[in-house]
Chain A
Amino acid sequence: MTTTASTAGSPFEYAPAPESRAVVDIASSYGLFIDGEFTPASDSGSFKTVNPATEEVLAEVAEATEEDVDRAVRAARRAQEKVWGPMPGRERAKYLFRIARLLAERSREFAVLETLDNGKPIRESRDVDVPTAAAHFFYYAGWADKLEHAGYGPDPRPHGVAAQVIPWNFPLLMLAWKIAPALATGNTVVLKPAETTPLTALLFADLLRQAELPPGVVNIVTGARATGSALVNHPDVDKIAFTGSTPVGKRIAQEIAGTRKHATLELGGKAANIVFDDAPIDQAIEGIVNGIFFNQGQVCCAGSRLLVQETIAEELVDRLKARLSTLRVGDPMDKNTDVGAINSPQQLARITELTDAGTAEGATRWSPDCELPSSGYWFAPTLFTGVSAAHRIAREEIFGPVLSVLTFRTPAEAVAKANNTPYGLSAGIWTEKGSRILWMADQLRAGVVWSNTFNRFDPTSPFGGYKESGYGREGGRHGLAPYLIEGSTY
């Protein structure tokens, strides 16, 4: 594998710096993790998971049937009633702290596996995904023995069994966001990772055994849509937590309507990243790049709509193009890679379809001059200018490294354009004027508003959406609420 250097005319070519994959053992096949044991699927069904950067098959993974899901839910119910629910919070905290420490200890293994299975640059899995996942376990471990002080009554109680379905863009981090608060509050879990990225969840199951977590407290069932549907519709599930696409989220909401099940849904987004003419320009450029090219733009809160004040639009786009030309696209295992592979051929097809629509609708498309690898799923960082609010690329979530640039003239227009979307997950504001930041944050219909930064994740801060971006919050004290029934014992 070779990676050639970035800047024009530079004699400074970064030699390839590949992370070793020897730190992780990938088995040829994996079973389902139910009641503390790995077991095959009841009908021996399986599917393959591939490395999106090379199309190499990494492993065969068992496909859970309805029967397997039922077994997992029953194991979770038993564990909840007999062990995990009655256990004092301070004891549960010890397990969570142990999981957090083990994640930190085995961070390199997890980072490498995440990059192999997902296609994201090792720089991101190493510096963001794994440390943030460990931080979530540390954070919620701290809450486990303080739930009566969390503002949910003096005696808040767990729902029982939580069914959790997570996406492929941050496989380990989303697992941590789901499992940590559920366990801290005394719920047990059946989790289904995405079918294209199950491996870190299965390694996490191994870590749970190392942590000696009681059997059944966390169960991991792998599979695709049918498995997810069986899990969500299982009658003995009390609480559903789903992160993924808006269409699937809507279907879940419809399916559970009229049942006793509670749900949190964290769905799509089409975030506005708003740059005023007094912004700290160089940091804004970095924030725009981080906002849309982080994880190849496969981020629900990605800043995919850049709203620039007209007075600086031309200069900003010039600077952005120059910066994009220094992005290093290629082998995700190379420590110097900035943009890795698209997770699956299906996703690549979706990005291609939407960007083609952008061109057809008359927007001006630009990509830096970069040669993409011949195997694997790749999409060059792409910039659209001359985008109108009516274009599909300005309205639909692309979930790829594609930025649409729109302009505005006044703060009120920026707010109106930013809010003119069915989504409302995140937004960014770039200005040196503090009062404007506060005013804008108040006006924007988005769950997270970043000012002079973008795509920052912290376990202490709640995350979630308005409108079609879903409901409920994850992270922070707010992230406890969906897993607790308010207690009224005085």
Chain B
Amino acid sequence: MSTTTPTSVAATGPAGTGTAPATPGSADRSAAEIADLARSVTGSALLDDTAWRRYLHGLPGVDKVGADGRAAALGTRSIKTTSKAWALDTIIRMVDLTTLEGADTPGKVRALAAKAVRPEPADPTCPSAAAVCVYNDLVPVAVEALAGTGVKVAAVSTAFPSGRASRAVRLADTRDAVEAGADEIDMVIDRGAFLSGRYSQVYEDIVAVREECRANGHHAHLKVILETGELATYDNVRRASWLAMLAGADFIKTSTGKVSPAATLPVTIVMLEAVRDFRALTGVPIGVKPAGGIRTSKDAIKYLVAVNETAGGDWLDPDWFRFGASSLLNDVLMQRNKLATGAYWGPDYVTVD
């Protein structure tokens, strides 16, 4: 029996759907363009708290039971053999290999960088990870270790993980990382400001950090961490996603990994719906990065299924989807080897960091 499923979202979907996302560079809009877009989408010239509140609270709600149910249903997809091989390699290409501990040393960062470049030294077909994600002060170490490899350096700036510092401090933090050569900046939003309805403050923070990412000819990619575990409701997740996208985020990211719950599948789906709708409305594609708590290949594959069936196959690319993870890569490597050889390695055959 031959069965085929439909292929024609583009013909009928909302404007923008179905076309491939532009390259990351095209999201490099000027601050004025970003503000213009925010004004036109919100329908307000002022962009003050009232305008933001009116716009964000006017977005369609998210029904928690339904969203959780959809995530559970997508989690039952069965992924076998050829799809699984493709999925495992794609996951490796999407991993931001992360170490965010007070005890991090230059040595640990170098080890992580080596692993990101060649996750499976014995197998040249194994792709590199997307990036290495470190604290600000270790950016120079990572930049040196990754020079010329194509693996990006991501830095968590803006008083990570709480974000509780003055804007001046957070901008200086970002500047440090960008000047040291970070390719990507993972910033945290001020959740206190968001929860108390000071939306314009959050918007302006993101705009300012974005300016810092682009200052002096630099081109750092901006990932905005919503810390969804602290936002508590899916409605807030959707609102924060739109606020960040309208403020010029290149990526929206779930979590710092320091707060429980970190990334969950339903929250990620809510964010994927937001980027899908944002592109349909504005033509601008935004990336999504779940981070924290994704440890197994099986879990990561569920995220890929959600990407495929929510935002669409266009997003199945490291430019548009990343995993923030430290231990996920090892499980993927073990599964990858099992698929190739039929035998399961066990954890002693992959490096611990």
B311: nearest chain-A partner, CB-CB: A7
Q: Which residue of A lies closest to B66 (CB)?
A: A283
A278 at the interface (CB under 8 A from B): yes
Query: Are A7 and B2 in contact, CB atoms less than 8 angstroms apart?
Result: no
Given A7-B308, A12-B304, A452 and B65 contact (CB-CB distance below 8 Å): yes
Chain B proximity of A294: nearest CB distance (Å): 11
A321-B13, A322-B14, A453-B65 known; A10-B312 Cβ under 8 A: yes
Find the B residue at minimum CB distance from A454. Answer: B66
Scan residues 186-203 of chain B and give those whose CB is less than 8 A from a CB of chain A.
Answer: none
Q: CB within 8 A of B312: which of A9, A318, A327, A329?
A: A9
CA–CA, A382 to B341, complex, Å? 45
Give the A interface residue count (CB, 8 A): 58
Docked-complex contact B309 and A371, CB < 8 angstroms: no
Check A327–B82 contact: CB distance below 8 A: no
B26 interface contact, C-beta 8 A: no
Bitwise interface map of A from 205 to 231 toward B, beta carbon under 8 Å scored 1, else 0: 000000000000000000000000000
B273 to A, closest residue via Cβ: A282
Contact digits for A37-76, partner B, Cβ 8 Å, 1 yes 0 no? 0000000000000000110000000000000000000000
A328 to B222, CA, bound (A): 36
CB neighbours (8 Å) of A279 from chain B are 60-61
Residues of A within 8 A of B81 (CB): 15
Chain A residues whose CB sits within 8 angstroms of the CB of B70 once the complex forms? 282-283, 286
- Inter-chain CA distance A283–B269, complex, in Å, is 11
B79 lies within 8 A of A14 (CB) = yes
> Whole-angstrom distance between the alpha carbons of A369 and B8 in the complex?
6
Which positions 10-57 of chain B face chain A at CB distance < 8 Å? 10, 12-14, 17-18, 20
B313 x A329 contact (CB < 8 A): no
A390 at the interface (CB under 8 A from B): no
A residues near B137, Cβ cutoff 8 Å: none
> Does B6 lie at the interface of the complex (its beta carbon under 8 Å from any beta carbon of A)?
yes
Asked whether, in the complex, the Cβ of B6 is within 8 Å of the Cβ of A376, the reply is no
The answer on a CB contact under 8 Å between B5 and A4 is yes
A462 within 8 A of B: no
* Given A127-B76, A282-B67, A283-B63, A368 contacting B3 (CB threshold 8 A): no
Which chain B residue lies CB-closest to A372?
A: B3
**A330–B78 Cα gap in the complex (Å)?**
15
Q: Contact check: which of B3, B6, B62 meets A2 at CB < 8 Å?
A: B3
Q: Does A131 contact B (CB under 8 A)?
A: no
Check: A13 CB closer than 8 A to any chain B CB: yes
B84 surroundings in chain A (CB, below 8 A): 15
Which chain A residues lie closer than 8 Å to B270 at the CB level?
Answer: 282
Contacts of A1 in B (CB 8 A): 1-3
Contacting residues, chain A, for B82 (C-beta < 8 A): 13, 15
Task: Assess whether B60 is in contact with A282, with CB atoms less than 8 Å apart.
Answer: yes
Asked whether A326 lies within 8 Å of B60 as measured between CB atoms, the reply is no
Say yes or no: B60 contacts A278, CB within 8 Å. yes
Q: Given that A12-B313, A15-B81, A369-B7 are contacting pairs, would A331 and B63 also be in contact in the complex, using a CB cutoff of 8 Å?
A: no
Counting chain B CB atoms within 10 Å of each CB, which of A9, A53, A376 scores highest? Answer: A9
Identity of the chain A residue whose Cβ is nearest the Cβ of B18 in the assembled complex: A8
Q: Determine how close the nearest CB of chain A comes to the CB of B341; give it in whole angstroms.
A: 19
Task: Evaluate contact between A12 and B87: CB separation under 8 angstroms.
Answer: yes
Query: Is A281 in contact with chain B by the CB < 8 A criterion?
Result: yes
- Complex Cα distance, B77 from A127, in Å, reads 12
Q: Among the listed B9, B90, B314, which residue makes an inter-chain contact with A322, where contact means beta carbons less than 8 Å apart? A: B9
- Residues of chain B within 8 A of A127, CB atoms compared: 76
Residues of A contacting B83 in the complex (Cβ-Cβ under 8 angstroms):
12-15
In the complex, the answer to whether A368 meets B304 with C-beta atoms within 8 Å is no
Q: Which residues of B contact A14 (CB under 8 A)?
A: 77-80, 83
Distance of A453 Cα from B13 Cα, bound (Å): 24
B125 at the interface (CB under 8 A from A): no
Other-chain residue from B1, B76, B90 in contact with A331 (beta carbon distance below 8 A): B1
A248 contacts B by Cβ under 8 Å: no
Q: Kindly supply a per-residue 1/0 record for chain A positions 1-30, scoring 1 wherever the CB is within 8 Å of any chain B CB and 0 otherwise.
A: 111111111111111110000000000000
A336 touches B78 (CB 8 A): yes
Q: Does B69 contact A (CB under 8 A)?
A: yes
Closest to A371 in B: B4
The residue on A at minimum CB distance from B4 is: A371
- Residues of chain A with a CB closer than 8 A to B304's CB: 12
| Contact of A476 with B by CB under 8 A | no
* A108 to B24 CA separation, bound complex (whole angstroms): 47
Give the CA-CA distance A9 to B72 in the complex, in Å. 25
**Would B62 and A280 count as touching, CB distance under 8 A?**
yes
- Report whether B2 and A373 are in contact in the complex, using a CB–CB cutoff of 8 Å: yes
- Residues of chain A contacted by B60 (CB below 8 angstroms): 278-282
> Shortest distance in angstroms between B244's beta carbon and chain A's nearest beta carbon?
19
**B3:A11 contact, CB within 8 angstroms:** no
CB atoms of A2 and B18 under 8 A apart: no
Q: Say whether B309 contacts A6, CB under 8 Å.
A: yes
Chain A's closest residue to B317 (CB) is A11
Taking a contact as CB atoms closer than 8 A, the residue among B18, B66, B305 that contacts A453 in the complex is B66
Quick one: CB contact mask for B79-103 with A, threshold 8 Å, 1 for yes?
1111110110010000000000000
CA gap between A322 and B314 in the complex, in Å? 14
Q: How far is the CB of B275 from chain A (nearest CB, A)?
A: 13
A16 CB, min distance to chain B CBs, angstroms: 7
Asked if A261 lies at the interface with its beta carbon under 8 angstroms from chain B, I say: no
Bound-state Cα–Cα, A11 to B20, Å = 13
Distance in angstroms between the alpha carbons of A3 and B79 in the assembled complex: 13
Among A6, A7, A324: residue with most chain B CB under 10 A? A7
Q: With the chains together, A187 CA to B20 CA distance in Å? A: 63
Contact at B78–A335, with CB atoms within 8 Å? yes
A11 to B86: give the CA distance in the assembly, Å: 8
The distance in angstroms between the C-alpha atoms of A322 and B310, with both chains bound, is: 10
Q: Which of A4, A8, A373, A432 contacts B8 (CB 8 A)?
A: A8
Q: Quick check: is B316 within 8 A (CB to CB) of the other chain?
A: yes
- A452 with B13: in contact, given A9-B312, A15-B80, A324-B6 (CB under 8 Å)? no
Encoded as 1 (CB less than 8 Å from any B CB) or 0, chain A from 314 to 353 comes to: 0100110110111111110001110000000000000000
Task: Verify A325–B6 contact, CB threshold 8 A.
Answer: yes
**Closest Cβ–Cβ distance, residue B14 to chain A (whole Å):** 5
A77 to B314, CA, bound (A): 65
Known: A12-B83, A278-B60, A335-B78. A7 touches B1 (CB 8 A): no
Contact of B316 with A369 in the complex, beta carbons under 8 Å: no
Q: How far is the CA of A325 from the CA of B66 in the complex (A)?
A: 20
Enumerate chain A residues within 8 angstroms of B65, measured Cβ to Cβ. 283, 452-453
Is A472 interfacial (CB-CB < 8 Å)?
A: no
Q: In the assembled complex, how far is the CB of residue B280 from the closest CB belonging to chain A, in whole angstroms?
A: 9
Q: With A15-B81, A322-B17 as given contacts, are A8 and B1 in contact (CB-CB < 8 Å)? A: no
In the complex, are the beta carbons of A368 and B8 less than 8 A apart?
Answer: yes
Which residues from chain B contact A2 at a C-beta distance below 8 Å?
1-3
A10 touches B6 (CB 8 A): no
Whether A452 contacts B14 in the complex (CB less than 8 A), given A9-B313, A14-B79, A15-B80, comes out as no
Residue of A11, A53, A321, A452 near B66 (CB, 8 A) is A452
Which B residues are CB-close (under 8 A) to A325?
6-9, 12-13
Within 8 A of B (CB), among A366-421: 366, 368-376
- Checking B1, B67, B273, B316 against A12 with a beta-carbon cut-off of 8 angstroms, the contacting residue is B316
A1 to B305, CA, bound (A): 22
Instruction: Supply 7 A–B pairs (Cβ within 8 Å), ascending by A.
Output: A12-B313, A278-B61, A280-B61, A321-B9, A330-B4, A331-B3, A336-B77
Residues on A lying within 8 angstroms of B by beta carbon are 1-17, 53-54, 123, 127, 278-283, 286-287, 315, 318-319, 321-322, 324-331, 335-337, 366, 368-376, 432, 452-453
Please list the 3 inter-chain residue pairs (A to B) with the smallest Cβ-Cβ separation, ordered nearest first.
A10-B313, A330-B3, A283-B66
